[in-house]
Each structure stands twice: as C-alpha cells, then as structure tokens.
Structure 1
Amino acid sequence: METRKVQRLGPSTLAMTLPAEWASEHNVEKGDEVSLRIGGKGTLTVMPESVQTEESEAIIYTEDLDADAVERAIVAQYVLGRRIIHVEAGEDGTLKSEHINAVYNAETQLMGLGVIEETPERIAIRCSVDPEDFTLDNLLERLESTGSTMRNEGVKALAHGNPDLAQRALNRERQANKIFVLLLRLIFTAYQNPNLARAVGLDNGFPLIGYRSIAKNLELTADNAEDIAEIVLETEGHALNVESSTMRRIREFTDQVNEITEMAVTAAVERDYDAAIEVRELYAEIGNREQDILSDLPEMENEELLRIREVLVSLQQTAQYAVRNAEIATNLALNEESVHTEIQ
C-alpha cells in the first residue's frame, strides 16, 4: 500500500498527488477528469475516464479447444463483462463446424448476446445488455419467481399425471439459467467498476458477494424443480402412486417451501432482519416434513418409494437453500442501522 501526503491548496481545498505509474497505465494527464467514489469505512475510489467508457473485448482462439470448451469460454467472457467477444480459428485457419455451432449454442443461453459479424475465419459476438436496464434486486426476484413457477408446475404435473405441464417446467429452466448468468455478469462488472454499483441498484459494492451466493442458491432451487419435472416424465402414468391425502400433503409442503423461498429473497433485497428471522422459524416447522411424509407411507415397491423420496428431497433442499439466503439477508440487514442495530 502506498501513502500520499495531503497538502492544503487553499482555505477549503486539500490535494494529494496520484501515483505516476498508475497515471501512466491509465493515460491520465494534466487537465484530464477523474471520478471520485465515496465508499464505506472512509474509502475514496479514484477512477479514470477510461474505466467508465471502455468497451472490453476478448478473443478466443479455437485451434486447441473442443466445442464444449469454446462454449464455456464464451459464457465465461460474457460473465466477466466483455462487450464484444471474438471467436477466431487462428492463423491461416477456418472455423470448424462444431466451433460455429458452439457459438450459436452459447448465444441461445445468454441474454442480450448476438452475432454481429461472421466470416469463415472468425465470428464476432456483441452483448447489448445495458446494466442500467436491470437492478440486481429485480433479477433476484425474477429468478426466485421462475424457480417457484417451475416447482409448482412440476408438483401439479405429478398430482394430475400431466406430462405437458412437466415439460413446461423444464422449458423454463433455460430462462432461469439466462437470468442467473446475467446476474453473474452484472455482479462481476459492478465489482470491477464501482460506478456501475449504482446503475444496478446498489449504494455500494458491499452486498455483491452476498448477492452472488443468493443467485447461486436460487439457481440450485431451479435445478431441484427441474428434477421433479423429470420424475414426472420418467414415471409410468406420469403420476406418483400415492393416496390423495399424501399428494395433498406434498402440495402443502410445496406451498410452504415457496413461502420461505420468496420471503428469504425479500429479506435480502429489503434488508429486513425480521423477515430473515421468520424464515428460520418457518423452516423449523417443516424441517422434518420429508421424513414425516415418508414414515406415513404404506408398503410399496422400492422404485415407487424412491421416486417419492426424490421429490421430497428436492423440496427439502430448496427449503435449506432458503435458510442459507436468510443467513445472507441477516448479514446485509445488520450492516445497516435499524430498530435492531445502531452502527457506531
């Protein structure tokens, strides 16, 4: 860490010098403007104009990569906030068909991504996402809502033996993944450029790590819902072989899981410690619901029992992810002054 001596230039003006190496690296010269960002704990961030206007680009060379590796590399560059991604075959080469397909597969997975130039040797992809079009809070709520809808459709499909409804839930998984990866992109870019924190709805960068964890937990709950929908499609008759009273208990369990999942996200985005406490209390009431339902089942074939257990495990895991999100919400809420906390 470097230190600088503060000097007084006038009755109310204090000044300090900028490190020469930093100024040279960012092409900051006399007369240029820089931005100042006041953060918590007495921090002051200095940002050159280039940080605010630069459109980051990346080049992916395909010659030593298979199609899956190219696709993953495109997704990674998207998450890292690149505005333009070039996919090139390398010197004197042409792109293989599988590499071209990988580009278009990645394009369908990512929000705001589109091919802007294509030749036999290279493809250029541009991300048109503007951070100011989204807030992290809204995207977290959308991701939670998508997972909840998938869960409801999967369990309802099990109750009514409706494979079309289960397929609808599976189709939503792609949208859930798009929202999740967009969240990662905005979180990474806001971390790299503090100016963007306000653009995505935050006063400072403190919540970013917590939001990253919440987003991952919500993505995993969508995976749990996907598992339930797949059970519907794989099961003969597309329904669980249980009594109507048992199916009713499973649907009630689903409603309770949905409630605490939504409440945990609300607690995080609203910095509501009371809501986080309520999530824990509600979870305590359903913490053993999986075993309660299983223990009340009559004798049945192992395969049928296993399917029921898989559904209940998916719901139980989703509830556990809600508790994790409530823990993060607790940390976010208690970092701000409220009726419960005074920060000195």
Structure 2
Amino acid sequence: MEYTGTRRVQKFGRSTLMVSLPADWVKKVGLKPGDNVAIEVLDDGSIKVKPLTYETKKLRKTIYIRISKLTSEELVSRMLYAAYVIGFDTVTIEVIDGYLTEPQLKTLRRMARSLIGVEIVGQSPNKLTLQFFVDPTKYSLPGLIGRMCNLIKSMLQHLVLGIAEKQHFFSEVLELETELDRVYTLSVRQLVLASQDTSLAKAIGITTSLVTAYRAIAKSLEDAGDALSAAAFELNNLSEEQLTKLDQAIDYLKESSEMLITITDRLMRALIERDLILANKILNALREFDNYIRRYHLLLFKSYGLDETYLIIRSILEKMSWAATSIESAAEVLFDISFAFRSPEIDLEKLGAETII
C-alpha cells in the first residue's frame, strides 16, 4: 500500500517541529505510542522512517518454481541464477508431473556449488529446496570489486607462467575464472538488494544512485576474466612443441601481462579512493598499452610472417587486448564516479593537475 499526500509541520514546545504519521501506515506496521523508530536521511534530502521492530525483522523472500520433468536443465539453471541475483533467500523447485531427472539434479547441484552461500536444505524425488545463506551486510561492494581485480591479476600471472614453465598454470587460470564468476554474481546480488534498501547500500559502501555504475564496473571485470580464460583455454590445447615456439616471445608477453597487472592494481586503488587523477592515469596507461600491442603486432609480422608461431602469439595478444578493452570500460565508469564524487567544485591544481597528460 502506498501513502501519498502532505502533512503540515507543527511546532511542539519552544523549538521542536512535529509531523503526524499516516494512520493506515501506523496500523499496518503495528506502531504504538512509545515505540522507537529509525530515521534515515537519504541522498536527495528526504528522510525514511522505519519502526525498529520492522527494521530488525526482515521478511525472508521465498519463491516456488513448478516445472515439468521435460523442462530443460538450461531453463532450470537460468531460473535459479535469476532467483539468486534478484535477492531471494529460499528457492523450492518442484516437478508436477513426475520426478526430478538426472540432468536437472546435476544442474541444480552444479549451480549450488557455483554460487556463493548456496546450500541444498531439502530434497525429495520430485522437489528440491535451496537456501541462500548470504548476509548482505558482510560483503562490501568495493571489497568484492577488489577481489575481482586480484583474481584478474592472478590470472595474468598464471598465464605467463604457463608459457614459461609448460606446467599446470593454464588450468589454474580456468579455475580462477570460475571463482571470478562466483564473485561477480554475488556482487550483482548485492547491487540489486542495495537498489531496494538505502541503508544496505550505505552498509556495503555505495549509494543507490551508483548501483548501475558499479554493476557496469563488475561486468567489465567479468568480461576481462572471460578474455583471459579464452587465452588460457587456447594455450592449454597447444602441443608442447607449439608452446616451446612461444619461448622467443615470452619477454613481450610477460611485459604485456605486467602492464595489465599494474593497471588493474591502480584500478583497485582508484576505486577505493575515488581518485579522479589516478582514474585518468589508468585511461592513459590503457591507451599506451593499446599502442604497445599494435607495435608488437607489426614487429611479429616482420619477424615471422604468417607462420604458426605468429598466428598463435597474435591470437593470445588479441585476447589480452580484449581484456584491456574491458578494463578500460571499467576505468571510464570509475572516472565518472570519481568526477561526481568531487563535484560540484573541482580544483585540478590541488588534485595534481600537473600530472595529467
């Protein structure tokens, strides 16, 4: 039920101002004389009033999904993912015309393992109940984004080690990408919940007005992980002889990786500090990285022509460029956030404008 209208501000005593509460709302939430309420000042200057009993007694969100034994496991997977991201606490999936099939069960168990905080809490031949044990106040958004940045840095390190050492490092990149997806999905859940609750948004380190911006950053980092995972998958399928041919390019690949690691590290710091100048430096560094890759492409072609070694190295560099482009998208949004944080007055000289190229 929505309550709209106006109330006259009245004076109570010498200096206290008072506004009456809507009677229907008071009745709905069970407010009584003498009860305490929580008052929160929002970003737009308005206030939110919540009874403390209502504040601490959050209703659990439960969804029941009825499917057929013929329902594809892909659809089951998408529905469970959506329930997690939207912010449900409990999901019950029931087959109405038989029993859960083996592919459906395998999919649900795989999904439970791939989502942070998800456990199967009830099961019968035709029904499965999953509960999401995620306390949203325990996961700050900057912390989750920072975790994604650290995973990308680790993926880059393992990628170069795999080329140099010819060991298990490519497989580890794929494992790290799986963890990156888990953190990304949790960050989306956090953002959806924060968009509905300003107090939660504040608790996890953002404002509701920045939910869309932070989701764009998280998605860009997830895309960067996909690019590095694609490179690792390709390298993992090369023969030892083909990998050995890459030794002659290991210095260039290592330098490319180190450049992206430095950029990602700066991105993480700029996000925490909302540093406008550092965000600008990141964008400049990414432009330099793009120029570096272009020059190296030309050098490779002059050295090897269109032989197999050139084609393999070019493919890996293209995927690193894909990762860099994704990181650039995140950096552009971060620049906007930092700009908004500094407004309405920005003194570039005080911020170190002399360092801006």
TM-score normalised over the length of structure 1: 0.88
Q: Structure 2 counterpart of 1:262, which letter? A: D
What displacement does 1:100 show?
Answer: 1.6
**Equivalence for 2:315:** 310
Residue 117 of structure 2 is aligned to residue 116 of structure 1: no
Equivalent positions of 1:117-156 (< 5 A) are: 117-156=122-161
**Which residue is equivalent to 1:251?**
254
Q: How does 1:122-271 map to 2 (within 5 A)?
A: 122-162=127-167, 164-202=168-206, 204-237=207-240, 239=243, 241-242=245-246, 244=248, 246-271=249-274
Match of 1:320 among 325, 346, 351: 325
The farther-off stretch of 208-217 and 30-39 is: 30-39
Q: Which moved more, 1:305-314 or 1:220-229?
A: 305-314
Do the aligned residues in 2 keep the contact of 1:146 with 1:176 (CA within 8 Å)?
Answer: yes
The one-letter code sitting in structure 2 at the alignment partner of 1:209 is: T
Task: Give me the whole-angstrom Cα distance separating, in 1, the residues matched to 2:157 and 2:221.
Answer: 15
Amino acid of the structure 2 residue aligned with 1:27: K
Per-residue deviation, residues 235-283 of structure 1 (Å, max 9, x unmatched): 2225263463x32122111111111122123212221112101112222
Would you say the 8 A contact 1:55–1:83 is kept in 2? Answer: yes
Secondary structure at the aligned position of 2:121 is classed as strand
CA distance in 2, matches of 1:254, 1:125: 40
Alignment coverage as a number of residue pairs: 335
SS at match of 2:28: coil
Tell me which residue corresponds to 1:66. Answer: 72
Give the Å deviation of 1:301: 4.2
Structure 2 unaligned runs (5+)?
A: 348-357
Distance 1:205 1:62, change over 3 A: same
Deviates more, 1:304-313 or 1:130-139: 304-313
CA distance in 2, matches of 1:339, 1:160: 52
In the alignment, the residues of structure 2 paired with residue 18 and residue 65 of structure 1 have an alpha-carbon distance, to the nearest angstrom, of: 47
Partner of 2:29: 28
| Cα separation, 2, equivalents of 1:192 and 1:221 | 28
Query: SS in structure 1 opposite 2:93?
Result: strand
SS at match of 2:208: coil
The answer on whether the counterparts of 2:170 and 2:233 sit within 8 Å (CA) in structure 1 is yes
Secondary structure of residue in 1 paired with 2:119: strand
Q: Determine if contact 2:163/2:247 at 8 Å carries over to the other structure.
A: no
1:167-194 superposed Cα distances (whole Å, 9 cap, x missing partner): 1111222111111111111111111122
Aligned to 1:6: 8
- Which amino acid counterpart does residue 77 of structure 1 have in structure 2? A
Q: Of 39, 44, 50, which aligns to 2:42? A: 39
Are the aligned partners of 1:4 and 1:16 in contact in 2 as well (CA < 8 Å)?
no
Q: Is the 8 A contact 2:163 2:246 kept in 1?
A: no
> Partners of 1:52 and 1:314 in 2: how far apart?
48
Shift of 1:325: 1.9
Instruction: Tell me the equivalent position of 2:352.
Output: none
Q: Which runs of 5+ in 1 are unaligned?
A: none
Cα 1:95–1:243 shift into 2, 3 Å: closer
CA deviation string 1:1-53 (max 9, x = no partner): 94413331514122144384xx39x9324427654321113132345627951
Alignment of 1:72-111 (within 5 A): 72-90=78-96, 93-111=98-116
Distance 1:52 1:136 in 2: 24
| CA contact 1:79–1:181 (8 Å) conserved in 2 | yes
CA offset digits 1:48-82 (Å, max 9, x no partner):
62795111111122216311110111111011111
| CA distance in 2: counterparts of 1:127 and 1:9, whole angstroms | 48
